[in-house]
Chain A
Amino acid sequence: MAARLADFVCDTIGSPVQHQQMVVVSAIVHTGGTDQIVSIPPFVPLFYKLVDGTTDAMQTDGVVHVYTGRELTGNQAKARFVGISIDAFTAQLSRGDDHNRISVAISGMLNLAVPQPKIDGQPLGRTLGFNDDKMRYEPDGGPTTVAGQRAYPVNCKPLLPVGAGTYGLYMGRNSVDFDGAMALLKAKPVAAAYTATAGSLGGGAAAAVPVPVPVPVPVPTAAAMEPTPQPIFTNPALSDSDAEGGAVGGIKRARKPSGKTKIAKKKRAGTGTGTGTDRGDRGD
């Protein structure tokens, strides 16, 4: 007999601990192709959403689709685990992809939504993993509701200190009076194949995209490979006040000696009359 919906309930987490060394990645909340509001509770595991009938994970523009994965068995959850949500979030298909991106923590010290009965007596440092348990976060409709919208059940798959997982370590409870635990999550991404979806949050995979036929590149003829003279660029904005700049592509011509230079040479030779230095007399 399949497990019933409310296997156990996780209430609001009290006194969330400070996140430490948290590493997050972006993901898209999967809406199943309908325009209903999808709630993601804070601090719950998120999983790859697979294309129906395949083992390929859905993605849009390289961003994976995630969901709370309540129906997953323990083994399925192990194979599809992405990370932990770090806050409450709501998604809706009509908002578009950019407004339905959620940050998913994959490493660091984090809060974890776990009911007290599931962590009572658990030792410090026990490894976190998945079993077949299911969880409902907040029995009264979830942490966020939108006026005029029906509150959707927030069903989750709990990450528990089962002692057989490899996703992180149980680091104690947040508070003795509230649900919630501290988890030291390890960065251990689970590999998955990807299938691009139809560019939105829809439920189906995209239609196959035809492989583009490469356009043949024409082989240049010998005549085409002859170098053609390139025009020499001269910037009209630059003035050439002494007219010594090249009108020929910036190549300077040899300077004509000015009359002053001749006088200076005479000075050095003892034939001039001035007393100024050579540099000053040149005046350039």
Chain B
Amino acid sequence: MAARPTPSSTIVPEVIGPPSPQGVVVLQANNCPHNIVADHAKQKDAWYVPAHCPVFATQDANGNATDRDGVFHVGADCKGLASKVTAGEIIPEKIVGISIDGLYDVEMQRAHMRSEGANRFSIAVAGLVTVASSPEDNAKFVYGDRVYVENSAKVERLTETQFLGALAFSPVKTDSDGGDRPSVGTYVSSVGPEGGFKCLLNFDL
């Protein structure tokens, strides 16, 4: 019998003093966990976007991408994805960016979801950027390893919430079901002993 979908037990600390991004390409996105959770308007925790966290594109009920005036909807909370997973890890299909700053004012985010521009923020889609991670995950990598999202994990600053970020990483591409994990990029180095790593982004590995 297949294991129930469960997140990683690791708790990812906040990255303090991340190094400056290099060669970064930024993209504007709309924070909207549309269709990730059944009723995203009522799920406050689904609106969190921690800093240096992978984000993924959200979809409508038919699997199509959603946007507002051409600016795509993205989300960072994997909790809602659990309902779409029957076994194994709770991970999105594809990463589309890494948040540069965090969005923690979720009440405002949710309250202004109908407003133009209130939910917009910038994500890094290319370049060398910092990704939040646990020190245990950093120990799996050496310079040049490919980084795949292995599972979702809680964030230290948000342990009291239901938020789960795509923040457990592995150098192994294949998941327990034989499928491909989404890639983040190439590992360069850890930021420090508390966690976080520098990653040359490539979501197509």
Contact = CB atoms under 8 A, between A and B. Distances in A.
Nearest to A181: B70
A124 interface: yes
B126 interface: yes
B70 A21 contact: no
Nearest to A171: B27
Contacts of A122: 65
B125 interface: yes
Contact of B72 (A108, A109, A172): A172
Contact of A127 (B25, B65, B204): B204
Contacts of A166: 204
B23 A169 contact: no
A169 B185 CA distance: 14
Interface residues of A, number: 21
Q: Chain B interface: which size bin?
A: 20 to 34
Contacts of A125: 57, 94-96, 203
A274 interface: no
Interface string B144-156: 0000000000000
Contact of B25 (A21, A124, A173): A21
B165 to A, nearest CB: 18
A108 B26 CA distance: 11
B26 A124 contact: no
Interface in A24-46: none
Residue of B69, B70, B72, B202 ringed by the most chain A CB atoms within 10 A: B70
Given A21-B24, A124-B67, 12 more contacts: A109-B27, A122-B65, A123-B59, A124-B65, A125-B57, A125-B94, A172-B27, A172-B67, A172-B71, A174-B70, A184-B25, A186-B204
The 3 closest A-B pairs by CB, nearest first: A123-B65, A125-B96, A124-B72
